[in-house]
């Protein structure tokens, strides 16, 4: 009987020890909300960072406008990479920014299906009668805002606004052209470079729209989150710069804002 009790006590000790181990601290993790146009590079850098540090990174991609509003409403985000400065400013106005820096730059381009014969040599060519559909990101989305501004500056918006098919974000606009549902589209150069079904017909003159800058925001938290700070700094490491530039992004040189 004593042997049984001794064995039972030892078994309970092992069980309680196992349960205590299960209730220990969970591995560190961070959440990044990032513009749809950065999906591939952020996914790669998140995987590289996790392999290097053991810190898990989950990423949520979409239009910058929608992501900023989710963060405003309390979504669990540690960092926000916006495709324009206005949505970083929006969060700053709400008191949600601990720190920010301009991280990336991009270019706006006109794309056509890779197998098509349509020639676009200047912006005015977008008014050709054979162009029935022009794919743009939504007007509240940075890529859509830049595109509309470029068309307005070129004096073409009134002629083209009825031909516009609108995607929820820049990747949706890209998909319209990829599927042949629009003869032309306006997207970021990095989106076009990563898609074999479209080709760049024209680079949009950057003087026609505001500079395309991607601010990286460290979201203000009730408690310090060192892991989020590590990834914030990791995104300006030599390795990250190599990944970004290989994908076609430019690196912004703006100072950090506190």
Q: What is the dihedral of CA 128, 204, 86, 57, to 10 degrees?
A: 110
Lowest mean pLDDT among 1-5, 40-44, 212-216: 1-5
> How does pLDDT run across 56-86, given as a tens digit for each residue?
999 999 999 999 999 999 999 999 999 999 9
Q: What is the pLDDT of residue 194?
A: 80
Contacts of 22 (CB under 8 A, 6+ apart): none
Residue 20 CB: number of other CB atoms within 10 A?
Answer: 9
2-11, 64-73, 127-136, range with the lowest pLDDT:
2-11
CA neighbor of 75 nearest in space, from 215, 221, 216, 213: 221
Q: Is the pLDDT of residue 142 over 90?
A: yes
**CA dihedral of residues 67, 133, 203, 59 (deg, nearest 10):** 20
Alpha helices (runs of H) in 73-208, residue ranges in sequence order: 85-93, 142-153, 157-160, 170-178, 189-193
């Amino acid at each position: 009987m004593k042997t049984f009790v001794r064995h039972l006590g030892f078994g309970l000790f092992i069980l309680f020890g196992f349960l205590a181990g299960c209730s220990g601290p969970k591995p560190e993790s961070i959440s990044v909300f990032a513009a749809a146009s950065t999906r591939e590079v952020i996914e790669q850098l998140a995987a590289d960072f996790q392999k290097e540090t053991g810190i898990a990174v989950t990423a949520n991609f979409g239009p910058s406008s929608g992501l900023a509003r989710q963060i405003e409403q309390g979504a669990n985000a540690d960092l926000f990479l916006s495709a324009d400065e206005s949505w970083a400013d929006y969060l700053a106005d709400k008191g949600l920014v601990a720190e920010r820096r301009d991280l990336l730059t991009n270019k706006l381009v006109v794309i056509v299906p890779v197998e098509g014969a349509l020639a676009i040599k200047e912006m005015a060519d977008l008014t050709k009668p054979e162009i029935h559909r022009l794919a743009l990101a939504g007007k509240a989305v940075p890529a859509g805002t830049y595109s509309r501004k470029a068309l307005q500056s070129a004096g073409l918006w009134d002629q083209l606004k009825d031909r516009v098919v609108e995607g929820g974000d820049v990747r949706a606009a890209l998909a319209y052209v990829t599927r042949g549902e629009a003869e032309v589209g306006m997207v970021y150069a990095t989106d076009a470079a990563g898609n074999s079904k479209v080709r760049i017909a024209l680079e949009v003159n950057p003087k026609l729209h505001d500079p395309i800058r991607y601010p990286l925001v460290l979201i203000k938290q009730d408690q310090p989150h060192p892991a989020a700070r590590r990834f914030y700094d990791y995104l300006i490491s030599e390795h990250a710069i190599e990944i970004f530039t290989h994908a076609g992004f430019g690196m912004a040189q703006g100072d950090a804002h506190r």
